[in-house]
Structure 1
């Protein structure tokens, strides 16, 4: 099923969840958006349709690495003429060299992992936000998983609910948890083999039971 179809189903699931919480337009609209986003999350795994949608392109990542590395070289050169060789200059010079080296071997398939690491770093900087750091860890784990494996199971749903719980503690948006779970679950239901458009099913109970439904 296409990502747009999953998002549309997620909108409906999120709206229904929002209506159970509060019937005002704002709550239902926010829950619809949360449902749509959550419905795309399971496809962050390898070869998933949503994988490249949230990641930087390899070209942009390379440009950023080169830009940061160049700025570091300029800064440490200026510092060297002021203070001479210091441990800080060696450290930041090593980081700059590492950025240039890594950029030469960068591949698009690694970009979701790097995005997840960046999200975790943002979570740490923003008052050590557990929810944001957990969201980053989800991306990192998903980047190594085969398509329609654990992100398409009750394990993935439970982990996503855990992420939402912590995000809700920091940003208590009405209906966030219910709409997010409903949106994520809607993806798993829409991918079931019981529906005629799906050749493959979903391993709801992986890793305990690998039967496709």
Structure 2
């Protein structure tokens, strides 16, 4: 099923969860958004709507890295010509060369890994927020997983539940947990093989049992 379909289903079930929690427009709208995000979260394990929405494109990142790398090296050359050599030249020179090398090797999946690392750093900055740290960990792990593996299993459901639980403890939003879980689980249900639109199913019990349902 396409990412846009998962997004729509997630928004719908999130709105329903919000209405059940507290039937007012604001709660329903917020929970619809949470449900939509959660509805595409399992697909962070592939280059789709979810991963591409939270990362810079590879082309943009490549241009930024190359520009920064060349800028650093040109600045160092100017400093050497005007001020002579210093120990700092080697450090910054290495940084410039590293940016140029990484710009040639970077892929869209690794951009997702970098995004997860940045979220982890944000978690440390915000007084070691466990909710954000778990969210960053989820993104990093998903960036290395094959499609429809652990993010599409009960293991992924439990991990995401922990993310929602701690986010809700730190920044309480009425209906967050219910809407997030409804959105996430809706994705797995919509990807099941019982639906004729799906050629592959969901390995609910991976890694213990890899039967597709």
Q: TM-score if structure 1 supplies the norm length?
A: 0.88
**Residue 161 of structure 2 aligns with which residue?**
161
Post-superposition offset of 1:62: 1.3
Determine if contact 1:48/1:147 at 8 Å carries over to the other structure. Answer: no
2:86 paired with 1:85: yes
**Residue 19 of structure 2 aligns with which residue?**
19
Post-superposition offset of 1:207: 0.9
Distance 1:105 1:132, change over 3 A: same
**Residue 66 of structure 1 aligns with which residue?**
66
Distance 1:5 1:162, change over 3 A: same
Q: TM-score if structure 2 supplies the norm length?
A: 0.88
Which whole-Å deviations, capped at 9, do the CAs of 1:161-181 have from their partners, x for residues lacking one? 111122222221111111111
Q: Distance in 2 between matches of 1:51 and 1:184?
A: 15
Distance 1:171 1:70, change over 3 A: farther
SS in 2 for 1:202: coil
Determine if contact 2:4/2:49 at 8 Å carries over to the other structure. Answer: no
* Structure with more of its chain in helix, by fraction: 2
Q: Distance in 2 between matches of 1:46 and 1:74?
A: 37
| Structure 2: stretches of 5+ with no match in the other structure | none
Which whole-Å deviations, capped at 9, do the CAs of 1:129-170 have from their partners, x for residues lacking one? 322222222111111111111111010011111111222222
Q: Distance in 2 between matches of 1:66 and 1:167?
A: 36
Q: What is the total number of aligned residue pairs between the two structures? A: 212
Determine if contact 1:11/1:35 at 8 Å carries over to the other structure. Answer: yes
Residue correspondence of structure 1 range 38-49 to structure 2 within 5 A: 38-49=38-49
